[in-house]
Amino acid sequence: MELIRQHISIEKYGGIMIWELTQDCKGDKSLLKVINDSFNMNSSVEGDINGDKELNSADLVTLSLFLLGYKNTNIVNWKDGDLFEDNTLNLYDLIAMRKLIIS
């Protein structure tokens, strides 16, 4: 029986969690993937809306396309792009993102 133990600091998460994953499925619906993704969300990069773990011109282009109304724009985590901190993606976020990139 395969046990995966994830030690989590008591101060931050309150203890140790243990999952038994012998019947876990593969791919995007895997419990292990969901667990991993949820922990990695905490290590996000400010402004990184395309999910490549860095702020660059690709994020600027993605936000620009979204603001222009392109429906197929893939925004992985919109909260990382909300640089103006008004709970919406808008032109103010685009301007702040540009300033972060060039600084």
Number of compact structural domains in the chain? 2
Query: Residue 74: what pLDDT?
Result: 92
In a domain, 50, yes or no: no
pTM of the model: 0.60
In a domain, 65, yes or no: yes
Convert the pLDDT of each residue in 3-62 to its tens digit. 444 444 445 555 566 667 777 788 777 877 777 776 665 567 899 999 888 999 999 999
What average pLDDT does the segment 62-71 reach? Answer: 95
In a domain, 85, yes or no: yes
Bridge partners for 18 per DSSP = 5
Judgement on whether residues 8 and 36 belong to the same structural domain of the protein:
yes
Are 66 and 50 contacting, i.e. CB atoms less than 8 angstroms apart? no
Please count the helices (runs of H) and the strands (runs of E) in the chain: 4, 2
Judgement on whether residues 37 and 71 belong to the same structural domain of the protein:
no
Judgement on whether residues 37 and 61 belong to the same structural domain of the protein:
no
In a domain, 94, yes or no: yes
In a domain, 91, yes or no: yes
Helices 57-67/91-102 angle, 10° precision: 170
Range of the domain at 10: 3-41
What tokens were used for 97? 């993102």
Q: Categorize the per-residue pLDDT at 63 as very low, low, confident or very high, splitting at 50, 70 and 90.
A: very high
What tokens were used for 66? 């979204």
In a domain, 48, yes or no: no
In a domain, 26, yes or no: yes
Judgement on whether residues 66 and 34 belong to the same structural domain of the protein:
no
